[in-house]
Amino acid sequence: MDLPAALLAHLQDLTSSIGQDDQELDDSIAALTTALRSTAASYCGFQLTIVDNQVTNQWPVTLTAFSDGHDVPVATSLRLPLALVSEAVDPESRVVFFAVTSGAFTDLAADLSCALGGIPVEQQSPAAYIADGASARPGGSDSAIELDDDLPPVAPVSGLTGLADLTVLNRAIGMLVDHGYDIVDAHQVLRRDAAAARVAPQIYAAEMLRQWVQPS
């Protein structure tokens, strides 16, 4: 298997392993890291964001893995929309790779573009970045590979965020369905009642679950 195809396969494995067995997740990260270092020796980390658009508007779960600590001097990035890898994910889902050497991902971007049918590669110029004062994240294009559009990296500290809140939201939706709502109405009720209470959906969902599990 050639490198771009192997890298895309590792990304699919990693995406499916989030929230599953911890060992499977660790193995997927290790395989992805090995593949990236084989093409960019100065690779130092990645940030993968899976967006769940069913519970509430675009709820992100983000896995960040920096191999050399959070003080590493990142000089380049490559963003790949995960919708180009799998049709099962929301268009806002993405992975961003980071490296300490400028231009480290130029060849990889070209190889991935070819492997994905010639999708465009776009590059943020340093001058434009300085003029804007910030990059165009977290959205960006959902149909192009983007170089240096995520500099500097946001919170380059390894960890998994968003999964616990998403679990609470899903449990609350499940409880509403058990109480007679269909799945669409359950989503609407949760969003409406959270807005009426002026709290974030996951906070409202947690309180709702606490009330329902208390003994009468």
Domain with 171, as residue range(s), is: 163-213
Quick one: 19 and 61 in the same domain?
yes
Rounded to whole angstroms, the Cα distance separating 193 from 190 reads 5
Quick one: 121 and 35 in the same domain?
yes
The last residue of a domain, from among 160, 175, 203: 160
Tokens of 115: 């492997």
Q: What are the tens digits of pLDDT across the range 68-127?
A: 655 668 999 999 998 888 777 788 889 999 999 999 999 999 999 999 999 999 998 654
Q: What are the tens digits of pLDDT across the range 11-58?
A: 888 777 665 666 777 788 888 888 888 889 999 999 888 886 654 555
| Helix residue spans in 101-200 (DSSP H) | 106-115, 126-132, 163-178, 183-197
Quick one: 144 and 65 in the same domain?
yes
Handedness of CA 120, 2, 99, 58 (dihedral sign): positive
Looking up residue 167, the CATH number of its domain turns out to be: 1.10.10
Quick one: 93 and 36 in the same domain?
yes
Per the omega criterion (within 30 degrees of 0), is the bond before 156 cis? no
Number of domains in the chain: 2
